Amino acid sequence: MDPKLTKIFCDFQVEPRQYLCADICHVIVLREKRSRHIKFFGYTIIAITALIAIVPTSISLVHQLGQSGFGQYASLVVSDAGALTGYWKQFAVTLAESIPGVSLALVLGIILILGWSARNAIQQTKPLSTIRRYA
Amino acid sequence: MDKTDAQLVNEILLDTQGSFEELVTRYTKPLYNFTLRLTGSVQTAEDLVQETFIKVWKNLTRYDPQQSFRAWIFTIARNTTTDYLRKKKTIPFSVLSKDEHLFEETLSDDATIPDETLAQLEDTASLEKLLATLPIDYQMVLLLHYQEGLTFEEIGDVVDKPPNTVKSWHRRAILELRTNLTRPPDGDHPLHYRGEGHI
């Protein structure tokens, strides 16, 4: 690298206007805040929808558990555990078969979505400390 | 002691207070000068610098710490500037014909500018005019190498070309500067073809 050319090019530099850095940070903060507002709104909608959806799906799950006899089978564990020891494999299969799989998966899925969207919504409310003066 | 770029990036990703501000302060002037020399407009340079930092903010998680951060940020600035210039259709292009290659071979292999000729470049206005006569790629190489201190390998990463190509551009840029300094540039100049809408 030619040191003379380096000096010439370095002397060639001009200073940007005084508040350019501040303006850039300000614009980024505004954009980030807007993006966070939109995300917060979106995640909240999803969380509320999940919360509403969990009611009928839970009711349906409970109803199906009652119809399938899961409750009666499960109560045997408490009331007559000794009698089950010899037949625990068959009992386990019968118990598993009585679980309404689809309804259970639906309820668990909705709970996961509720947790995920609620967590993300809360994350959008954190302050933007890395651009401290403008956050 | 000043933090390194890698340390600053790490702090930004950990949402440490004030780190991104520090990065903006550190790179605003170099990026501003880079975009200003390529576009010739103060307002455009400010807009491009802002756009560059917005892209840096959005893509910081994609930055590879193995790469020089300086080269990475200038890559973003270069792409942003060339996109702008393409939209405006003002990118000049260099066309090298067989004759131009022959002309180069007749010049001295030493790609330097004599001291007495170099003195003319110390006038900012002259340097500005001379730089503007060069193709945009040559301008980028000179600015990144002499103003920002990037190596040819780093410049290669910025312009997405092999280092040997960058060295070749550098050599041609110096030769062209030297020729233009000793002889005012005109339309018949053999080394340089000026495209339409030259800055």
Q: For B20-58, write each residue's pLDDT tens digit.
A: 999 999 999 999 999 999 998 999 999 999 999 999 999
A9/B57 CB distance under 8 A: no
- Domain presence at residue A10: no
Name the interface residues of B facing A (CB cutoff 8 Å): 11-12, 15-21, 24-25, 28-29, 32-33, 36, 45-46, 49-50, 53-54, 57, 112-113, 115, 118, 121-122, 124, 127-128, 142-143, 145-147, 149
Q: Does the pLDDT at position A62 exceed 80?
A: yes
- Residues B157, B67: contact at Cβ < 8 Å? yes
Say how far apart CA A27 and CA A14 lie, in whole Å.
Answer: 23
- Domain presence at residue A12: no
- Please name the member of B11, B25, B128 whose beta carbon is closest to the beta carbon of A21: B25
- Domain presence at residue A3: no
Say how far apart CA B148 and CA B142 lie, in whole Å.
Answer: 9
A20/B11 CB distance under 8 A: no
- Ranges of residues in chain B whose predicted pLDDT is under 70: 90-113, 116-118, 120-121, 183-199
Number of structural domains in chain A: 1
Looking at per-residue pLDDT, the higher value among A11 and B172 belongs to B172
- Buried b / exposed e over A85-114, threshold 16 CB at 10 Å, is eeeeeebeeebeebbbeebeebbeebeebb
Residue of chain A nearest B146, judged by CA positions: A6
Closest CA to B142 of A10, A102, A74, A113: A10
DSSP chain B: -PPPHHHHHHHHHTT-TTHHHHHHHHHHHHHHHHHHHHH--HHHHHHHHHHHHHHHHHHGGG--TTS-HHHHHHHHHHHHHHHHHHHHT--------HHHHHHHHHS-S-----HHHHGGGGSHHHHHHHHHHS-HHHHHHHIIIIIS---HHHHHHHHTS-HHHHHHHHHHHHHHHHHHHHS---TT-TT----TT--
B46/A21 CB distance under 8 A: no
Convert the pLDDT of each residue in A101-132 to its tens digit.
888 999 999 999 999 999 999 999 887 777 76
- Buried b / exposed e over B33-43, threshold 16 CB at 10 Å, is bbbbbbbeeee
Name chain B contacts of A1, Cβ cutoff 8 Å.
Answer: 145-146, 149
- Residues B79, A49: contact at Cβ < 8 Å? no
Q: Does the pLDDT at position A79 exceed 80?
A: no
The pLDDT score that the predictor gives to residue B103 is: 45
- Domain presence at residue A46: yes
Q: Kindly report the nearest CA distance between residue B18 and chain A, in angstroms.
A: 5
- Domain presence at residue A43: yes
The pLDDT score that the predictor gives to residue A93 is: 79
- Domain presence at residue A96: yes
- Please name the member of A5, A8, A130 whose beta carbon is closest to the beta carbon of B20: A130
B53/A32 CB distance under 8 A: no
Closest CA to A16 of B76, B42, B145: B42
- Domain presence at residue A34: yes
Give the range of the structural domain holding residue A89, as residue numbers without chain letter: 25-131
Say how far apart CA B11 and CA B19 lie, in whole Å.
Answer: 6
Type of residue numbered B37? R
Q: What domains lie within chain B, and their CATH numbers?
A: 5-88 (1.10.1740.10), 98-182 (1.10.10.10)
- Residues B57, A32: contact at Cβ < 8 Å? yes
**Residues in chain B, how many?**
199
- Domain presence at residue A125: yes
